[in-house]
Every structure is written in C-alpha cells, then in structure tokens.
Chain A
Amino acid sequence: MILATEPFLGMARVVAESLDYPDARIVAVEHPIGGIDDQTLEGKVRSAAGQIADAFLGLGRGSE
C-alpha cells in the first residue's frame, strides 16, 4: 500500500515497479498535505482513510 498525493502518483508507480511490487495498491491523497490548517488536513485524512480501507478489502475504490 502506497499513499501519495496526486502529483506523486507517477513516481509511486515507477518506484513500485522498480522495487518489484508492480501490483502495489496506490491511494491518492489530495495535494497538498503541508501548509494547510488542521481541519483541512483532517478532511483529507478521513477521505483517504476510506480509500485505504477499500483498497485493503479489495473493493476497488482505491485510486489505483
């Protein structure tokens, strides 16, 4: 499982493949996560948490 903000999804795919994890599940988090207030960050975390759970459970709602 890889968490990455949107601009880093391409790199996440390349690194996953280069490390021989081509099927690694990649979950996108809304960018940015730095320089934002706690409430906005919490919203992004909660949004990502649902995708993470789905990706783990194989429900197909993960970003990748």
Chain B
Amino acid sequence: MTASPAQLNDVVDFATDEEFGESAYRNGWTDGLPVVPPTPGRVGSVVEYTDRDPVEMLGVMPPGNGLATVHAVAVNAVMAGCEPQHFPIVLAAIEAVLDPEFNLRGIQATTSPVTPALMINGPAATDLEFNSGHDCFGPGTKANAVVGRAVRLCMRNIGYARAGETDMSTQGQPGKYAFCFAENEPSSPWEPHSVERGFPPEASTVTAFQAGMIMNILDFGSKSAGSLLKSLASGMATTNTNSIQIAGGDLALVLCPDHAEILGREGWTKDEVKQFLHQNALLPFSAFSQGVQSCIRDWRRGSFRFITENTLLPIVDDWRHIRVVVAGGAGSQSGFIPGFADGFSTIREIT
C-alpha cells in the first residue's frame, strides 16, 4: 500500500527503511530529516496506547483541508519518532492547533515565520521527561523533539503545508522543525500556566502559542523588579513584529527562573507583571518608518482613531493577551515570543 503524495493517511509498506525514507523525502512527506517508517505495527502500537478510535476525526486541517483522524496523526507521530506514550500529547496538541481561535489557516499560509510553540504543563511534563530547563527550546531531549516534530509533520502531510506553494513563509524559522518545551513549574513563583487557565494542578495540558520567533532578553544586571521590568518592557517593544503592528493575538513572555525569582521575591503577581508590561512596553509612533506607519494606521485603526507622532503604541491592545510563563535553566536570559494576528493561544488537557 502506498500513501498519496498529497496526504499521508495510509500506512506505508516498503521493502526497506531506506527505500521508504527516500520515497518519503521525494514525495515531500518529511521535513528533510530522516523519518521512522510508519509500519502497521508501529502505527497500531501508537493508536492502541490510547482508547481513541482510529477513524475518529479531530478536525479538518487547512489549507489543504486534510482529515486529521487519530490514525493520520498516528502515522505522522511515528514518522516523527514518537513512542506510544507521546501520542496522547500529540493528539491534544493537534486539537489545540485545530481550535478556530488558533487561526491555523493563517499560520499555515502566511508570509510570517510563525509556527506553533507547544508548552507542556502538569505531571506529563515530568513523567515523559520533557525539558523545561537548560536549552528547553533547543535540541537534545526526545520528548520535546518528537512531539514538536509530530505536530509539524501533521501540518505538512495532513494540512498540506508546502514551502512556496501553500506555506508562503518568506523565510520560515528553525522552530518549524519542532518547537516544544515544558513550563518549569518548580522554578516559578506563580501558579502554573495551566492552572491560570482553569485546569486543576493534577491535570496535564498542552498550550499552543503562535510563535512569530523567539527574541532573547538579556539582563544580568538587574537586582530589583523595577529594573528588570524595565528591561523586559524595552525588550518586548520592538518595531517590526506582527504583534505591535497589528496588535492581535497573544504574546508569550518566557521568563527564565532567575528573572522570575526577582519578580516573585518582591511580591509581584503575574497579572501585575502583565499590566506593567502593557503600560510600559510602548513605542512612540515616530519610532516606526513612514511605510510601517501607513500600515499601522490601517491595521490598528480599531484601537486608535487618531494617531500622532507622539502616540504611544502598546505591544498588544489588552494586557490579558500577554502570557507570562517560566522556563529555562540558570542564567539571566528570558525569551519573548511575539505572536501572530487574528488568533490566540489555545490549551487542551492531555487525556
């Protein structure tokens, strides 16, 4: 049995792994890296790990409108290198990105480099050894790599995202191979992100952020919350992100534990941090080029009836759309993930 070039929904059976690997690459089913052949045995093991019906449809994945069945997702999960225990997380992640709030159609087709950034919360993060510490956005941890990659392969093979054809990202970004990490809950002075969004502490969840990119915010020098917050605000207020020009969607500030500790020891709540950043991560309209100003006048006209050179633009219209989480190891390097537009982060429980 062979899979259709447009949609890899069928289990494939080739004489050798090398033969499958070459065929998969030539048919555009891979991200360029080697894949695990999705043999009936491997796919069956993954599906059977859950109590889900293989023909259950999670949704229709744009822009190709492929049917994201449990079976189709399992095929891509196996190709990505997932073991059966990773599959419930992949399923929850696919449900999160298929939520209309996430605007997957826009993310798949846009010229922006945006891609889903998946964050794991709860017991699953430790049980499956997701990396929430040093290099959590980087390589070297199986769970982070295979779950993030599985979602990207689903977007490619079920949603039919093909560079230059349907995925029109001008430059893309490395996160389009895999972008998955866990929140460093033990190092956070606040409740986990999942609890903030209404889940009990014992629940495991996956959150999908719209990741325009990761921007590093370096501040080794700040010893007080006031000083650090000024750094964070100025680091987030940059002129050429979707976030500030269009002001839609969620932004994610991924605080490193050392930075989070400074804020926590002075008693700052997460909401207070968000409100401060909303009120202080501002750019005057005069900071933007003439060309970008004309775009902002159009795109943010719902927020500003009158804009002058002195108008201060916040990075997003509503402070609640600044998401603050904690991840990483020791050091004073936080990350800012500017969002996309016309969509928001979504969260699903892993069952």
Q: Which residues of A contact B (CB under 8 A)?
A: 7-8, 10-11, 14-15, 18-19, 35
Whether A18 and B168, one on each chain, are in contact in the complex, defined by CB atoms closer than 8 angstroms, is no
Contact with A along B140-163 (1 / 0, CB 8 A): 000000000000000000001000
7 example contacts (A-B, Cβ-Cβ < 8 A) are as follows: A8-B168, A10-B164, A14-B160, A14-B166, A15-B63, A18-B63, A35-B291
> Which one of B64, B65, B164, B291 lies within 8 Å of A7 (CB-CB)?
B164
Whether A14 and B63, one on each chain, are in contact in the complex, defined by CB atoms closer than 8 angstroms, is yes
Whether A7 and B168, one on each chain, are in contact in the complex, defined by CB atoms closer than 8 angstroms, is yes
Residues of A within 8 A of B166 (CB): 10-11, 14-15
The answer, yes or no, to whether B109 is at the interface (CB within 8 Å) is: yes
Whether A10 and B165, one on each chain, are in contact in the complex, defined by CB atoms closer than 8 angstroms, is yes
7 shortest interchain CB distances as A-B pairs: A18-B65, A10-B165, A14-B166, A11-B166, A15-B63, A18-B63, A14-B63
Residues of B within 8 A of A19 (CB): 65
Residues of A within 8 A of B164 (CB): 7, 10
Contact with A along B103-135 (1 / 0, CB 8 A): 000000100000000000000000000000000
Whether B168 and A11, one on each chain, are in contact in the complex, defined by CB atoms closer than 8 angstroms, is yes
The answer, yes or no, to whether B62 is at the interface (CB within 8 Å) is: yes
Q: Given the complex of chains A and B, what is the CA–CA distance between A7 and B164 in angstroms?
A: 7
Whether B62 and A11, one on each chain, are in contact in the complex, defined by CB atoms closer than 8 angstroms, is no
Contact with A along B52-77 (1 / 0, CB 8 A): 00000000001111000000000000
Residues of A within 8 A of B165 (CB): 10-11, 14
Residues of A within 8 A of B64 (CB): 14, 18
Residue of chain B at shortest CB distance from A34: B291
Q: Given the complex of chains A and B, what is the CA–CA distance between A22 and B164 in angstroms?
A: 20
Instruction: Looking at the assembled complex, report how far the CB atom of A64 sits from the nearest CB atom of chain B, in whole angstroms.
Output: 15
Residues of A within 8 A of B291 (CB): 35
Instruction: Looking at the assembled complex, report how far the CB atom of B121 sits from the nearest CB atom of chain A, in whole angstroms.
Output: 33
Q: Given the complex of chains A and B, what is the CA–CA distance between A14 and B164 in angstroms?
A: 12
Instruction: Looking at the assembled complex, report how far the CB atom of B186 sits from the nearest CB atom of chain A, in whole angstroms.
Output: 44
Q: Given the complex of chains A and B, what is the CA–CA distance between A15 and B168 in angstroms?
A: 12
CB-CB under 8 A for A18 and B62, given A7-B164, A11-B165: yes
Q: Given the complex of chains A and B, what is the CA–CA distance between A15 and B110 in angstroms?
A: 12
Q: Given the complex of chains A and B, what is the CA–CA distance between A38 and B166 in angstroms?
A: 29
Instruction: Looking at the assembled complex, report how far the CB atom of A19 sits from the nearest CB atom of chain B, in whole angstroms.
Output: 8
Q: Given the complex of chains A and B, what is the CA–CA distance between A15 and B165 in angstroms?
A: 11
Instruction: Looking at the assembled complex, report how far the CB atom of A11 sits from the nearest CB atom of chain B, in whole angstroms.
Output: 5
Residue of chain A at shortest CB distance from B167: A11
Residues of B within 8 A of A35 (CB): 291
Q: Given the complex of chains A and B, what is the CA–CA distance between A31 and B27 in angstroms?
A: 28
Other than the known A14-B165, A18-B63, what 20 A-B pairs have Cβ atoms closer than 8 Å? Answer: A7-B164, A7-B168, A10-B164, A10-B165, A10-B166, A11-B63, A11-B109, A11-B165, A11-B166, A11-B168, A14-B63, A14-B160, A14-B166, A15-B63, A15-B109, A15-B166, A18-B62, A18-B64, A18-B65, A19-B65
Q: Given the complex of chains A and B, what is the CA–CA distance between A18 and B61 in angstroms?
A: 10
Instruction: Looking at the assembled complex, report how far the CB atom of A23 sits from the nearest CB atom of chain B, in whole angstroms.
Output: 17
Residue of chain A at shortest CB distance from B159: A18
Q: Given the complex of chains A and B, what is the CA–CA distance between A11 and B165 in angstroms?
A: 5
Residues of B within 8 A of A14 (CB): 63-64, 160, 165-166
Q: Given the complex of chains A and B, what is the CA–CA distance between A19 and B291 in angstroms?
A: 33
Q: Given the complex of chains A and B, what is the CA–CA distance between A16 and B171 in angstroms?
A: 24
Instruction: Looking at the assembled complex, report how far the CB atom of A56 sits from the nearest CB atom of chain B, in whole angstroms.
Output: 25
